[in-house]
Amino acid sequence: MKIKLHILMFLMLPLFAAPPAVRAESASEREHKIKAAFVYNFIKFIDWPQEKTPDKNKPITIGVVGSDTFVKAFDPVKNKQVKGRRLAIKRFGDWDKLKESQKKNDSAWKEKLEALKKCRVLFICSCESGKNKVPVEIIKALKGSGVLLVGEVPGFLEKGGVINFVTENKKVRFEVNSTSAKRNKLKIRSQLLKLAKRIYKEEPSEDAKN
Amino acid sequence: MLSVVRNMTIRQKLTAIIMLTCIVALVFAGAIFIMWGYASAKRNMADNLLMQAEMIAEGSKAAVVFEDKESAMDLLKTVRTNRSIFHAGIHTGDGDHFADYDRDDVDSHPPLPQKDGCVFGDDYLVACKAIVLDGEIIGSVYLYSDLRLLHESLRNNAILVLAALFVAFLVAYLISSRLQKVISGPILNLNDIAQQVTSRKDYSVRAVAQSNDEVGMLIGSFNNMLDTIQQRDMLLVAANENLEENVRDRTAELTREIEERKKKEVELRGLQEDLVTTSHRAGMAEVATDVLHNVGNVLNSVNVSVDFIKGKVLNSKVLNLNKVADMIAEHTDDLGTFFTEDARGKHIPSYLIEVAKLADDERTDVGDKLDFLAKNIEHIKEIVRTQQAYARVGGVEAPTNISDIIRDAVEINSAGLNRHGARVVLELGELPKVCVDKQRVLQILVNLINNAKYAATKSDSAENLITIRCNRCGEDRLRIEVSDNGVGIARQDMGKIFRHGYTTKEGGHGFGLHSGALAAAEMGGRLAVDSDGPGKGATFTLELPFNSKEQVQCTR
């Protein structure tokens, strides 16, 4: 019976496979999904300080700065259980808009900043916009707030980000700024650190300079 | 097998027993040791492998979730230090191959296990551990180990046990060969002594008991036995030495004895002759008693006759003739007138006639008595003559009328019979003359009649009756029965009645019937008695052969 079922499923496989084949998942889409999974998994290897830990019944929030398409990449992990809590995804819209709001420095921005600070992880998507610029403003705004800042542009770590994705041989890897992590009171497990492509440590002078 | 055991010496048996015991114990212990060692080695191995799998599972979490295969491979490579592990692998949660490690010499590996834990295959051990991250199974680690070490440890243990067994065997042999002497030593020593005793016939040696156990007791018993044997042996040797001498002595003794015996034999022969003579004399004495008895019997009759004659003569009426003669002498002158006138004279002639008659009668009586007397005296003479005949040639048989003999016997006893008022009835049949020893038959009959008279007078019966019958009995025998109605004989006395010295008479000798029976037997006849019991009288029967001339001679 079981064998028959398997054969049936095997025969039906092309039917399921057909739509992706038609739509043809793009490389970036796949990359986004991997990154989303990575971000989700980072939570498991990183310990946040006590004050950042919300109540049991409240979800752990991942904030996403970027386009909707990227936010969609988080759908597989949405509402998953992590560290005994539900995982929530919060969209903060495009980086540019945030920047503008920050410049105004009005109440809307302050409200947004509070929301940003409440997130555990803030993933700042920059490839979509194609600018490949380091979101220095956001990094500065959230400096020492205990939020895990994850980026995907070169120089992200140098500007104070904690984890930065890099692509190597079409494989997604990451690097870590241990100083920044310490500053944000984040304890990154050695296993994760071991996998990091690079561990960046800020020079004290540079720190003082910033 | 049994015969092998039977043919073993005690020494070997003891050693074998001790060693067998040791080896069995050691093999048992060794087997347990090996089994326990194998089990614990297996458990240890499984534990270790599982621990290693756990460590890898722990360490590979990040690598798996972040799909860092290199890192996972690096981690897997750490198992290289354990050369037993020939394959290691990490699979992701959905069962995909994530990372592998194979020992250099391995190109294939057994199937995957289904669940966590350790499983022993035919020649491998696999440990499986799930990689769990935040409560979610994200993959599994598999470690395959070969059983080389396990087998090696098993082999080592076996070798160790075998070596220990071998050493223990040697030690047990050494110890047992030493210790068995404690038991076998005294026994072998005893055996040596026994052989010494057997070969040298030396019973003076003794075994020394070294212990107080059963062997010590055995040695004690053996020594006691030797003591006994030694004593017996000494006696035997002494006896042997003396034997020849003894034989010589004994031979001499025997020779002497034989000579003595011969001498004795000669003496005995002489004695026998003497004895024969003596007995002959004794027989004669017996016969003499017999004779005297018979003579006594006859003398009784003689006495009676003499008394009678004497009485007759003394009281004879003839004596009155003297008065008549005197009267006649007075009257010689006038005899005529006297015979005719005188009152007394007138009776004389008739008286004389009377006297003459009386005298005649008396003469006849006395004559008869004298005849009888003479007959009795003749009888005595006969008795004496018979005795003489006995002593010399034997009795004289003459053809005789048996009735005469019976009558004579009655006559001889008549005086006594008359005195006691006994009546004799004779019932004599017609018989031819027979040739018997008259005197002996007469004696027997006199005796029997005498006895019958005695018995009859002793009884209470009104009339003392004696009946004598004489008849033929068969072709050539006659039977004389003397019956009385006297006191009779008790049955228990029947046997004794012919015995010498047995009597019921006062003043009797117990000789009459005895000699009578002997005489009857000598004549070829027999004397028997019968009685219906005490008070019912008795009958004596004398049986004799007719022509007994030859018979008598035969019996003599």
Contacts B66 to A, Cβ<8 Å? 38, 41, 174, 192, 195
Taking CA–CA distances from B57, the nearest residue in chain A reads A191
Between A37, A81, A191, which is nearest B62 by CB?
A191
pLDDT at A11: 47
The three-class DSSP label of residue B485 is coil
Please say whether the beta carbons of B437 and B476 come within 8 A: no
Q: What is the mean pLDDT of residues B145-168?
A: 89
Contacts A81 to B, Cβ<8 Å? 135
Architecture of the domain whose range is A27-209: 3-Layer(aba) Sandwich (3.40)
Contacts A37 to B, Cβ<8 Å? 65
What the block records as the tokens of B523 is: 């004549």
| Three-state secondary structure of A101-144 | HHHHCCHHHHHHHHHHHHCCEEEECCCCCCCCCCCHHHHHHCCC
Taking CA–CA distances from B63, the nearest residue in chain A reads A195
Q: How far is A1 from chain B (nearest CA, A)?
A: 21
Burial of B108 (0-12, 13-18, 19+ CB in 10 A): exposed
Please give the CATH number for the structural domain made up of B2-174: 3.30.450.20
Q: How far is A99 from chain B (nearest CA, A)?
A: 32
Cβ distance of A191 and B59 shorter than 8 Å? yes
Strands A60-65 and A121-124: parallel
Interchain CB contacts (distance < 8 Å): A and B: 30
What's the predicted TM-score (pTM) here?
A: 0.49
Between B63, B133, B134, which is nearest A195 by CB?
B63
> For residue B142, which of B180, B110, B166 has the smallest C-alpha distance?
B110
Restricting to B residues 64-123, those with a Cβ less than 8 Å away from any Cβ of A are 65-68, 71
Percentage of residues in chain A having pLDDT higher than 90: 6
What the block records as the tokens of B289 is: 């008693």
Tell me the pLDDT band of B395, cut-offs 50, 70 and 90: low
pLDDT at A174: 92
Q: What is the mean pLDDT of residues B334-340?
A: 79
Q: How far is B77 from chain A (nearest CA, A)?
A: 16
pLDDT at B555: 39
Please say whether the beta carbons of A71 and A60 come within 8 A: no
What superfamily does domain B395-556 belong to in CATH? Histidine kinase-like ATPase, C-terminal domain (3.30.565.10)
Cβ distance of A44 and B63 shorter than 8 Å? no
Cβ distance of B63 and A191 shorter than 8 Å? yes
Tell me the domain boundaries of chain B.
2-174, 395-556
Inform me whether the pLDDT recorded for A21 exceeds 60.
no
Between B61, B68, B134, which is nearest A82 by CB?
B134
Between B63, B68, B134, which is nearest A44 by CB?
B134
Taking CA–CA distances from B71, the nearest residue in chain A reads A195
> For residue A202, which of A165, A169, A155 has the smallest C-alpha distance?
A155
The residues of A whose Cβ lies within 8 A of any Cβ of B are 34, 37-38, 41, 44-45, 81-83, 171, 173-174, 189, 191-192, 194-195
Taking CA–CA distances from A85, the nearest residue in chain B reads B134
Cβ distance of A82 and B65 shorter than 8 Å? no
B493 CB near a chain A CB, below 8 Å?
Answer: no
Q: How far is B71 from chain A (nearest CA, A)?
A: 7
A contact test, residue of B55, B61, B65 with most A CBs within 10 A: B65
Contacts A171 to B, Cβ<8 Å? 67
Percentage of residues in chain B having pLDDT higher than 70: 93
pLDDT at A13: 45
Burial of B419 (0-12, 13-18, 19+ CB in 10 A): exposed
Inform me whether the pLDDT recorded for A108 exceeds 50.
yes
- Whole-number mean pLDDT of chain B? 82
Q: For tokens 């030495």, what's the residue? A: B241
> Any long-range contacts for B119-128 (C-beta under 8 Å, 24+ apart)?
B120/B42, B120/B46, B120/B147, B123/B147, B124/B86, B125/B45, B125/B46, B125/B49, B125/B150, B127/B46, B127/B49, B127/B50, B127/B52, B127/B53, B128/B53
Inform me whether the pLDDT recorded for A126 exceeds 80.
no
Tell me the pLDDT band of B335, cut-offs 50, 70 and 90: confident
pLDDT at B536: 84
Interface ipTM above 0.95: no
pLDDT at B286: 61
Tell me the domain boundaries of chain A.
27-209
Q: For tokens 């759908």, what's the residue? A: A75
Inform me whether the pLDDT recorded for B416 exceeds 50.
yes
Higher per-residue confidence, A46 vs B504: A46
Please say whether the beta carbons of A157 and A210 come within 8 A: no
Contacts B59 to A, Cβ<8 Å? 191
Of A20-34, B100-114, B143-157, the range with the highest mean pLDDT is: B143-157
Taking CA–CA distances from B138, the nearest residue in chain A reads A41
A contact test, residue of B67, B73, B133 with most A CBs within 10 A: B67
Between B59, B66, B135, which is nearest A41 by CB?
B66
B contact test, residue of A34, A41, A190 with most B CBs within 10 A: A41
Instruction: Answer left, alpha or beta for residue A185, where phi above 0 means left and psi between -120 and 50 means alpha.
Output: left
What the block records as the tokens of A1 is: 């019976």
What is the rounded distance in angstroms from the CA atom of residue B78 to the CA atom of residue B91? Answer: 17
Taking CA–CA distances from A83, the nearest residue in chain B reads B134
pLDDT at B549: 45
